[in-house]
């Protein structure tokens, strides 16, 4: 890739309803800024690009209608942390949620996702190009170099990666200019990659990966099908183990390996997705919605909902109700 800004960011942003804007708001003037067209929403998308090696992006915007995003993406690795989001990715399907590290791997494939209207999208991300993670790093560290993709995949969905979250928040608030900015952003990208490699290494020591047999994959498929049908009810791990024909320990480890989340997180994602639909399409009280999706304690439901979307249920409804 010759120019990350013009080949990766700009075409996608213009397609979505952004326009180049000299008003950077609270973000560093060393980067490029795009604003949402007033008739489509409000907010900014800021990005700093370094040659053809990497880019850093900050999202802080709202759309007045659901945004369906589809674009042909090049090869790259990215990770980000959402402070607020509501939507889903497709191919493969993945619910977008905040409070965890989200990893994306582009491989000249079609990216498709939907972002919910009126819900703030707030995120900080780093995208690195093959020229960085294949050419630059391999030439700089020829002996120690290993493919970064497996490390990135390992940290996808992690909720206990405070060091990386802190780094992304530092980047969001940085205001230095000139050579200070160049050195800072280059250093932070290298630091972030280092953190990911080390975190993945520690995780693999704790949870060594093994190939999953077809029989076990069939068992996991049966488990997810059962959860999809019964997520609003009380689900016992012992019952899931019987369905999968596995012991409890094996089920939990194999499930985590296959879906990059725990069984509890999978159930919560199903419940939160249904709660979002009920909040936007009905006038049911928050307590009623909590019970419908499987929570007897509405406070616990509200806590988990905010952890998932960045908003309390009543805030989420207030953002979306104006266009119903």
How confident is the model at residue 209, as a pLDDT? 67
pLDDT one-digit tens code per residue, 8-67: 899 999 999 999 999 999 999 999 999 999 999 999 999 999 989 999 999 999 999 999
Nearest to 311 by CA among 281, 286, 285, 284: 286
Architecture of domain 266-322: Orthogonal Bundle (1.10)
Position 321 pLDDT exceeds 80: no
- State the burial class of residue 108 (Cβ atoms within 10 Å of its Cβ: 0-12, 13-18, 19+): exposed
What pLDDT band is residue 323 in, cutting at 50, 70 and 90?
A: very low
How confident is the model at residue 322, as a pLDDT? 55
Q: Residues 110-124: what's their mean pLDDT?
A: 94
Q: How do the residues of the chain divide into helix, strand and coil, expressed in percent and rounded to 5?
A: 50, 20, 30
Q: Has domain 4-203 been given CATH number 2.60.120.10?
A: yes
| Window from 8-22, 37-51, 143-157, 167-181 with minimum mean pLDDT | 143-157
Q: Residues 260-288: what's their mean pLDDT?
A: 93
What pLDDT band is residue 257 in, cutting at 50, 70 and 90?
A: confident
The ranges assigned to domains in the chain are 4-203, 214-260, 266-322
For the full predicted model, state whether its pTM sits above 0.75.
yes
């Amino acid at each position: 890739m010759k120019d990350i800004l013009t080949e990766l960011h700009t075409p996608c942003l213009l397609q979505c309803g952004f326009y180049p804007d000299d008003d950077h708001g609270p973000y560093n003037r060393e980067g490029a800024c795009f604003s949402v067209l007033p008739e489509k929403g409000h907010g900014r998308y800021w990005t700093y690009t370094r040659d053809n090696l990497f880019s850093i992006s900050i999202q802080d915007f709202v759309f007045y209608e659901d945004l369906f995003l589809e674009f042909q993406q090049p090869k790259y690795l990215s990770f980000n942390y959402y402070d607020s989001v509501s939507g889903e990715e497709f191919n493969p399907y993945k619910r977008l949620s905040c409070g965890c590290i989200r990893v994306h791997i582009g491989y000249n494939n079609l990216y498709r996702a939907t972002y919910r209207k009126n819900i703030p999208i707030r995120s900080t991300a780093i995208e690195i190009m093959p020229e960085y993670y294949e050419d630059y790093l391999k030439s700089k560290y020829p002996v120690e170099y290993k493919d970064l993709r497996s490390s990135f995949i390992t940290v996808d969905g992690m909720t206990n990666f405070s060091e990386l979250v802190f780094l992304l928040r530092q980047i969001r608030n940085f205001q230095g200019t000139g050579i200070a900015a160049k050195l800072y952003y280059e250093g932070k990208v290298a630091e972030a990659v280092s953190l990911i490699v080390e975190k993945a290494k520690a995780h693999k020591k704790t949870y060594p990966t093994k190939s999953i047999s077809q029989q076990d994959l069939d068992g996991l498929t049966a488990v997810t099908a059962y959860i999809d049908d019964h997520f609003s009810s009380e689900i016992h791990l012992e019952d899931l183990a019987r369905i999968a024909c596995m012991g409890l320990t094996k089920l939990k480890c194999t499930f985590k390996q296959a879906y990059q989340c725990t069984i509890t997180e999978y159930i919560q994602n199903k419940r939160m997705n249904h709660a979002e639909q009920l909040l936007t399409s009905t006038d049911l009280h928050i307590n009623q919605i909590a019970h419908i999706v499987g929570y007897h304690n509405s406070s616990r439901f509200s806590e988990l909902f905010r952890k998932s979307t960045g908003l309390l249920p009543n805030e989420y409804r207030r953002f979306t109700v104006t266009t119903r």
